[in-house]
Amino acid sequence: MRPTSALPSRVEALILSSLLLSPLALGKATQDRRYHSGHLHRRSNILDGGSPIAASYDYVIAGGGQAGLVLAARLSEDPSTSVLVLEAGRSGDAVYEQMSHPGNTYYDSLTRTEYDYAYSTTPQAGADGRKIPWPRGKVLGGSSAINGLYYINPTKRDLDTWKGLIDGGNEEESRGSEYWGWDSFYEALKKSQGFVPPTEAIRTQAGIDYNAESFGSGGNVQLSYPGYTFDVVGDWVPTMSNIGIPENADAYGGDHHGAFVATSNINPTNWTRSFARPAYIDNTAPRQNLDILPGATVTRLVFDSTTSAGNLTATGVEYATSAGGSRQMVTVNREVIMAGGVIGSPQMLMLSGVGPRDVLEAAGVEVLLELPGVGAHLQDHLAAGVAYDTDSDTAQTIISSGSDLSSSAIFLSFVNSATAYIRLTDLLGDYAPTFASNARAALSSAVSALDTSSAEVRTGYERLYNTIVDQLYDGGESQVEMLLTMAVPGKIIVQAALQHPLSMGRVTLNSASAFDAPSIDPNYLQQEADIILLREGLKLARKAATTAPLSNVLKTEAWPGSRVETDAEWDDWLKGQIATEYHPSGTCAMLPRTEGGVVNARLQVYGLSNVRVADASVFPLSLTTHLGAPVYGLAEQASTLIQAYYNADEEPPAPEGNNEGSIDGDAGAGGENSPSPSNGAVTNPEGVATRSAVTFGSLALAALSSLLLL
């Protein structure tokens, strides 16, 4: 059977209401400049280098990635508030079409370009001393603009475990925890989702099964399936069933154990990537109370000097367009919301004087608030794969052919999506209880080996370790993800990815400059349990590849091959092969402060009266999923809880240790800063407006790591 393509199942017309064209909505002076031909809402709230901003805003969002743009759209729904987003990366206009084709994540990737931070880890002892590349999106939309488009809900057990971790704190720390349990978070996920079923042809060939009631249908983010697929995708679920892994026909309802074909962030009306910018910004009517400034790197938060540690109030955010450029200031009336991601948010806090004392002092940063959990508890999914030669078409062989098909939008909608989540008993059988017992026995040595001088961080690590073993190992949560990828010419790869590492690391500073990358040490494979689980996952991947019907397509094993058979050979080989699955979390963890936590259940940073963090850095435990879905859910929940406080005419409850939750809106002197000559942006000279009347002007990675950004 030939690969199947399909036309969009429905076409939705984009309708502009008369409101969008009225002087009330646009302002006469700017009306004609807010639209770009062909993209009616494109850049409607996105400033260029010559556009002015106001002296102050109610909310300043530090980071215009996935979470930041959701927050910007939701908080600016209230026309009486003002919102500014500061994003270090570019707008993405110059590469918008390139980003929009889903398949370009493999064939024309923006990794290792100016749209990628292109981080690397420190040398990893558990990875043969290698520095592992860590791409992260440096563009409006963040990593949602360059990732692999997988969209998989977290599980009920994941979320209820998260809620339980913050419920272990005192009343002030845990108040609001209901936002993070399954029942509430699931509704936030649905709110963000615009699910569109596959066509019948694609559904049949790829073997797709799903429960439509487990999805939302009216949300901003489009979820669907590619318009082009291959027979081998349809072989996935039957093969997994033949090795004892059941099909999951309702993988989005709270338990995704088993095999299924995942949804992707694809808009089937035109087969384009649905990411945070088009979903929440480009398709939003122009708003005079929302400004988004690309090319603006946050250098630090500025605090009221009359407030003390434990009650520090942010009065402004300092930013610059380059390392040598002048520093500019914008005043904050209500809150700063950190949305810089797992690397950016802890780095910004530390550069502002909030973090572990030893790290700040070593970098030459004045310590304003000692908060040892900032940058700690870093967790990441890591993966390796078994590759097989094939004489069947793969996505990469078609793209390499240069045919008309290879450049068509419908073909370029194909992305890898066949997956399976594997429990401990699937991997280890009767040995599973002994394995868990051995992991418990290793706790003391694991805590002793942790690279920290903080007793709080050690206490938190111990709790996270015990939670993984006692609740996720023993509770039946999946521990390994398996995936099918066809991004290498003439090869099909079956991957295994560890979901809940017991090895945890940290992010620290290399210097006092926001323009220098921080130090990233995920501490890969330092716990034997992690090595065993990944090894057994790879063994299961080999078993799947040699089981029908998949074995009818996968021929000779290309790597690792017959030289790897024993456990010792597997362990030695995988240390030279592991790569990130691009799912880091935990560096501003929602945990009690005594456990190295950084934020409370309301996302407020401990000891700061008006600063929150809202991105994947607050996840206290690595989730059993790709991070796109939970980050959208988190941002929706964050928006809801912030709006709830202010709509009720209440100030946010003060973090533990604060005397009050009031915010000094008079502090700071943002209006007096000189404009940066590198971007020409100016601050409102009157220094009085709280909202702006904006005017607008016009290597791929290694084969193994090419598939899974988020």
Q: How far is the C-alpha of 600 from the C-alpha of 615, rounded, in Å?
A: 14
Residue 105: helix, strand or coil by DSSP?
A: helix
Q: How far is the C-alpha of 267 from the C-alpha of 272, rounded, in Å?
A: 5
Residue with tokens 């991947």: 541
Q: How far is the C-alpha of 534 from the C-alpha of 504, rounded, in Å?
A: 16
Residue 308: helix, strand or coil by DSSP?
A: coil
Q: How far is the C-alpha of 662 from the C-alpha of 135, rounded, in Å?
A: 39
Asked if 524 contacts 576 with a C-beta cutoff of 8 angstroms, the reply is no
Q: What six digits make up the tokens of 535?
A: 């090894």
373 Cβ neighbours under 8 A, 6+ residues apart: 454, 456, 457, 460, 588, 589, 591, 593, 595, 596, 597, 598
Q: What six digits make up the tokens of 649?
A: 């005419």
Strand partners, 531: none
Strand partners, 331: 56, 316
Would you say 298 is a known binding-site residue?
A: yes
CA atoms within 13 A of residue 234's CA, in its CB half-sphere: 15
Closest to 396 in 3D by CA, of 490, 494, 495: 490
Q: How far is the C-alpha of 589 from the C-alpha of 595, rounded, in Å?
A: 9
- Dihedral sign, Cα of residue 331, residue 669, residue 663, residue 456: positive
Task: Identify the active-site residue in 41, 257, 381, 583.
Answer: 583
Closest to 702 in 3D by CA, of 21, 111, 81: 111
Would you say 631 is a known binding-site residue?
A: no
Closest to 227 in 3D by CA, of 12, 455, 408: 408
Q: What six digits make up the tokens of 543?
A: 């078993």
Closest to 530 in 3D by CA, of 599, 438, 627: 438
Q: What phi, psi does 580 have (nearest 5°)?
A: -70, 150
Q: What six digits make up the tokens of 530?
A: 């992690």
Q: What six digits make up the tokens of 547?
A: 């089981």
Q: What phi, psi does 249 have (nearest 5°)?
A: -90, 0
**Catalytic-residue membership of 39:** no
**Catalytic-residue membership of 583:** yes
Task: Cite the DSSP H helix spans in 263-320.
Answer: 276
Cα–Cα distances in angstroms (integers) from residue 500 to residues 218, 534, 585, 622, in the given order? 32, 11, 11, 6
Task: Identify the active-site residue in 257, 377, 381, 626.
Answer: 626
Angle at 581 between CA 580 and CA 583, to 5 degrees: 100
Cα–Cα distances in angstroms (integers) from residue 98 to residues 106, 110, 127, 427, 467, in the given order? 11, 8, 33, 40, 42
**Number of helices and strands (H, E) in the chain?**
21, 26
Q: Which residues are catalytic?
A: 583, 626
Binding residues for FAD: 139, 298
Binding residues: 139, 298
